Structure 1
Amino acid sequence: MRYSGDWMSLVDDRILEYIHEHGSGSPKKMKEEGRIRYSRQHIARRCRTLAEKGLLTHLGNGVYVITDDGAAYLNGELDTETWAQVDGTETETGSGNESDST
Protein backbone atom coordinates (compact mmCIF):
# COMPACT_ATOMS: atom_id res chain seq x y z
CA MET A 1 0.00 0.00 0.00
CA ARG A 2 1.32 3.43 -0.93
CA TYR A 3 1.15 6.38 1.44
CA SER A 4 0.74 9.49 -0.69
CA GLY A 5 0.92 12.95 0.82
CA ASP A 6 -1.87 15.47 0.38
CA TRP A 7 0.44 17.45 -1.93
CA MET A 8 0.41 14.58 -4.45
CA SER A 9 -1.98 14.13 -7.37
CA LEU A 10 -3.20 11.01 -9.15
CA VAL A 11 -0.81 11.44 -12.06
CA ASP A 12 2.22 11.37 -9.73
CA ASP A 13 1.98 7.61 -9.24
CA ARG A 14 1.77 7.05 -13.01
CA ILE A 15 4.82 9.28 -13.58
CA LEU A 16 6.86 7.51 -10.90
CA GLU A 17 5.81 4.08 -12.19
CA TYR A 18 6.73 5.01 -15.77
CA ILE A 19 10.16 6.34 -14.85
CA HIS A 20 10.84 3.40 -12.53
CA GLU A 21 9.97 0.91 -15.30
CA HIS A 22 11.89 2.72 -18.05
CA GLY A 23 14.89 3.92 -16.04
CA SER A 24 14.27 7.53 -17.10
CA GLY A 25 11.65 9.58 -18.84
CA SER A 26 10.61 12.97 -20.08
CA PRO A 27 7.16 14.58 -20.06
CA LYS A 28 7.18 14.57 -23.87
CA LYS A 29 7.93 10.86 -24.08
CA MET A 30 5.36 9.97 -21.40
CA LYS A 31 2.70 11.92 -23.30
CA GLU A 32 3.66 10.52 -26.72
CA GLU A 33 3.48 6.91 -25.50
CA GLY A 34 -0.07 7.58 -24.34
CA ARG A 35 0.19 5.81 -21.00
CA ILE A 36 -0.27 9.05 -19.05
CA ARG A 37 -3.36 10.85 -20.29
CA TYR A 38 -2.57 14.38 -19.20
CA SER A 39 -1.08 17.25 -21.17
CA ARG A 40 2.67 17.38 -21.58
CA GLN A 41 2.65 20.68 -19.67
CA HIS A 42 0.82 19.13 -16.71
CA ILE A 43 3.18 16.14 -16.68
CA ALA A 44 6.14 18.55 -16.74
CA ARG A 45 4.74 20.53 -13.78
CA ARG A 46 4.23 17.36 -11.76
CA CYS A 47 7.75 16.13 -12.62
CA ARG A 48 9.18 19.42 -11.33
CA THR A 49 7.15 19.06 -8.12
CA LEU A 50 8.27 15.45 -7.66
CA ALA A 51 11.88 16.55 -8.18
CA GLU A 52 11.51 19.41 -5.67
CA LYS A 53 10.15 16.90 -3.15
CA GLY A 54 13.02 14.48 -3.77
CA LEU A 55 11.19 11.62 -5.51
CA LEU A 56 12.73 12.38 -8.92
CA THR A 57 16.01 13.86 -10.07
CA HIS A 58 16.09 16.17 -13.08
CA LEU A 59 19.06 15.31 -15.32
CA GLY A 60 18.50 18.21 -17.71
CA ASN A 61 16.80 18.52 -21.09
CA GLY A 62 13.50 17.42 -19.52
CA VAL A 63 14.79 13.97 -18.52
CA TYR A 64 14.06 12.62 -15.04
CA VAL A 65 15.15 9.55 -13.08
CA ILE A 66 13.63 8.15 -9.92
CA THR A 67 15.45 8.54 -6.60
CA ASP A 68 15.78 5.93 -3.86
CA ASP A 69 13.01 7.75 -2.00
CA GLY A 70 10.80 7.61 -5.08
CA ALA A 71 11.36 3.86 -5.36
CA ALA A 72 10.67 3.46 -1.63
CA TYR A 73 7.37 5.31 -2.08
CA LEU A 74 6.37 2.99 -4.93
CA ASN A 75 7.19 -0.01 -2.74
CA GLY A 76 5.00 1.32 0.09
CA GLU A 77 8.02 1.95 2.31
CA LEU A 78 7.76 5.75 2.47
CA ASP A 79 4.89 7.91 3.73
CA THR A 80 5.21 11.07 1.64
CA GLU A 81 2.89 13.03 3.93
CA THR A 82 5.15 12.92 6.98
CA TRP A 83 8.33 12.65 4.89
CA ALA A 84 7.47 15.73 2.81
CA GLN A 85 6.98 17.80 5.97
CA VAL A 86 10.40 16.81 7.29
CA ASP A 87 11.97 17.26 3.87
CA GLY A 88 10.45 20.73 3.47
CA THR A 89 11.86 21.78 6.85
CA GLU A 90 15.33 20.53 5.96
CA THR A 91 15.20 22.29 2.58
CA GLU A 92 14.26 25.61 4.20
CA THR A 93 17.06 25.46 6.76
CA GLY A 94 19.60 24.24 4.27
CA SER A 95 21.66 21.81 6.35
CA GLY A 96 19.24 19.14 7.52
CA ASN A 97 21.26 18.64 10.72
CA GLU A 98 19.21 20.80 13.07
CA SER A 99 17.55 17.76 14.68
CA ASP A 100 20.97 16.39 15.65
CA SER A 101 21.15 18.21 19.03
CA THR A 102 21.09 16.14 22.24
Structure 2
Amino acid sequence: MRQSGTWMTIWDDRILETIRKEGAKPVGELAEEEGLRISHSSVSRRCKKLAEHGLLTPLGNGVYTITDRGEAYLDEEYDAENEVFLNGNGSRDGPTVSETSES
Protein backbone atom coordinates (compact mmCIF):
# COMPACT_ATOMS: atom_id res chain seq x y z
CA MET A 1 0.00 0.00 0.00
CA ARG A 2 1.28 3.47 -0.87
CA GLN A 3 2.34 5.59 2.09
CA SER A 4 0.87 8.96 1.15
CA GLY A 5 1.47 12.18 3.04
CA THR A 6 -1.28 13.99 4.91
CA TRP A 7 -0.59 16.89 2.53
CA MET A 8 -1.49 14.74 -0.51
CA THR A 9 -4.76 14.46 -2.42
CA ILE A 10 -6.11 11.65 -4.60
CA TRP A 11 -5.17 13.73 -7.65
CA ASP A 12 -1.48 13.55 -6.71
CA ASP A 13 -1.40 9.82 -7.39
CA ARG A 14 -3.11 10.34 -10.77
CA ILE A 15 -0.64 13.08 -11.72
CA LEU A 16 2.36 10.94 -10.75
CA GLU A 17 0.95 7.89 -12.57
CA THR A 18 0.33 9.91 -15.74
CA ILE A 19 3.80 11.47 -15.79
CA ARG A 20 5.42 8.10 -15.09
CA LYS A 21 3.49 6.47 -17.95
CA GLU A 22 3.73 9.25 -20.52
CA GLY A 23 6.90 11.11 -19.54
CA ALA A 24 7.46 14.79 -18.75
CA LYS A 25 4.37 16.86 -19.43
CA PRO A 26 3.32 20.48 -19.14
CA VAL A 27 0.56 21.32 -16.68
CA GLY A 28 -1.81 22.23 -19.53
CA GLU A 29 -1.56 18.75 -21.04
CA LEU A 30 -1.94 17.11 -17.64
CA ALA A 31 -5.14 19.09 -17.02
CA GLU A 32 -6.57 17.70 -20.27
CA GLU A 33 -5.92 14.05 -19.35
CA GLU A 34 -9.08 11.97 -19.18
CA GLY A 35 -8.20 10.54 -15.74
CA LEU A 36 -7.74 14.00 -14.27
CA ARG A 37 -10.93 15.94 -13.88
CA ILE A 38 -9.55 19.01 -12.18
CA SER A 39 -8.77 22.50 -13.40
CA HIS A 40 -5.50 23.71 -14.87
CA SER A 41 -4.86 25.82 -11.76
CA SER A 42 -5.45 22.81 -9.48
CA VAL A 43 -3.05 20.65 -11.50
CA SER A 44 -0.48 23.44 -11.36
CA ARG A 45 -0.89 23.77 -7.59
CA ARG A 46 -0.59 20.00 -7.05
CA CYS A 47 2.51 19.74 -9.26
CA LYS A 48 4.18 22.53 -7.29
CA LYS A 49 3.34 20.75 -4.02
CA LEU A 50 4.67 17.43 -5.36
CA ALA A 51 7.86 19.20 -6.43
CA GLU A 52 8.22 20.81 -2.97
CA HIS A 53 8.21 17.31 -1.49
CA GLY A 54 10.63 15.89 -4.07
CA LEU A 55 8.24 13.67 -6.02
CA LEU A 56 8.37 15.78 -9.19
CA THR A 57 11.03 18.02 -10.71
CA PRO A 58 10.08 21.20 -12.56
CA LEU A 59 11.84 21.46 -15.92
CA GLY A 60 10.62 24.99 -16.65
CA ASN A 61 7.64 26.43 -18.51
CA GLY A 62 5.21 24.39 -16.39
CA VAL A 63 6.72 21.04 -17.43
CA TYR A 64 7.30 18.42 -14.73
CA THR A 65 9.02 15.05 -14.64
CA ILE A 66 8.90 12.35 -11.99
CA THR A 67 11.83 11.85 -9.60
CA ASP A 68 13.28 8.69 -8.05
CA ARG A 69 11.24 9.51 -4.95
CA GLY A 70 8.09 9.78 -7.06
CA GLU A 71 8.83 6.43 -8.70
CA ALA A 72 9.53 4.84 -5.32
CA TYR A 73 6.27 6.25 -3.93
CA LEU A 74 4.28 4.69 -6.79
CA ASP A 75 6.15 1.41 -6.22
CA GLU A 76 5.25 1.50 -2.50
CA GLU A 77 8.91 1.96 -1.56
CA TYR A 78 8.69 5.54 -0.23
CA ASP A 79 6.80 7.00 2.72
CA ALA A 80 5.72 10.48 1.57
CA GLU A 81 4.57 11.53 5.04
CA ASN A 82 7.92 10.85 6.74
CA GLU A 83 9.97 11.37 3.57
CA VAL A 84 11.91 8.11 3.90
CA PHE A 85 12.56 5.16 1.62
CA LEU A 86 11.13 1.88 2.83
CA ASN A 87 13.33 -0.61 0.95
CA GLY A 88 16.52 0.01 2.95
CA ASN A 89 18.78 -1.29 0.19
CA GLY A 90 20.34 2.07 -0.60
CA SER A 91 19.41 1.87 -4.27
CA ARG A 92 17.77 5.29 -4.22
CA ASP A 93 18.84 8.64 -2.80
CA GLY A 94 17.60 9.74 0.61
CA PRO A 95 17.26 8.23 4.05
CA THR A 96 15.61 4.89 4.69
CA VAL A 97 13.45 3.90 7.62
CA SER A 98 16.34 1.97 9.18
CA GLU A 99 18.67 4.98 8.88
CA THR A 100 16.21 7.38 10.46
CA SER A 101 15.34 5.03 13.32
CA GLU A 102 19.03 4.64 14.25
CA SER A 103 19.36 8.40 14.83
Task: Please give the TM-score of this superposition, normalised by the length of structure 1.
Answer: 0.79
Task: Please give the TM-score of this superposition, normalised by the length of structure 2.
Answer: 0.78
- The C-alpha deviation readout for 1:3-26, integer Å capped at 9, x for no partner, is 101011110000000000011112
What letter matches 1:41 in structure 2?
S
Distance in structure 1 (CA, Å) of the matches to 2:23 and 2:33: 15
Q: How large is the RMSD of aligned CA atoms in angstroms? A: 1.7
Percentage of matched positions with identical amino acids: 51
More helix by share: 1
Give SS of 1:82's match. coil
Higher relative contact order (CA 8 A, sep 6+): 1
Aligned length: 86
Q: Report what 1:75 is aligned to.
A: 75
1:56 maps to 2:50: no
More strand by share: 2
1:17 maps to 2:17: yes
List gaps (5 residues or longer) in structure 1. 85-98
